[in-house]
Amino acid sequence: MSEVSTGDVIEFDYPLQGQSNFLTKLGESAWDGVGADEDIVAFNSQCTHAGCSVAGQVVPNENRAGPCPCHYTSFDISKGGLVNMGQATSDLPQIELDVEDGEIYATYVEGLVWGYHNNLRNGTPIEAVQSN
């Protein structure tokens, strides 16, 4: 956790290999944020409209993921991935995080990953995701 700085964007797979997510430190308190300032959050990278990736479109200093390069949806990552512009009708799935002994762990996906009826079906599970 000590290695995550404000504005960093770290990509990781969870809960299955190939399910891309990002973790970022916003520099201000966020819904379900972890850390001393409750400003570290993580989300699935696939837009909930058509599954295009918002990876590379994360702007922590604006609390934004997007616009999605396919249909321009943007999500407010300080407010649980809330859709704030575009064609998506559901929020970006938030990855719940837990901190133990200074390590950050992904523990749950709040919502369905785009294209899945079950986030844990048809793939290889990740045993533990760790970022310092």
Q: Report the mean per-residue pLDDT for the chain.
A: 93
Q: What is the pLDDT of residue 130?
A: 52
pTM for the complete prediction?
0.92
Task: Report the CATH architecture of 9-131.
Answer: 3-layer Sandwich (2.102)
List phi, psi (to 5°) of 98. Answer: -135, 145
Of 66, 71, 57, nearest to 84 (Cα)? 66
The domain ranges of the chain are: 9-131
pLDDT band, very low/low/confident/very high, at 121 (cuts 50, 70, 90):
confident
pLDDT band, very low/low/confident/very high, at 69 (cuts 50, 70, 90):
very high
User: What does the pLDDT look like over 85-110, one tens digit per residue?
Assistant: 999 999 999 999 999 999 999 999 99
At residue 131, does pLDDT exceed 70? no
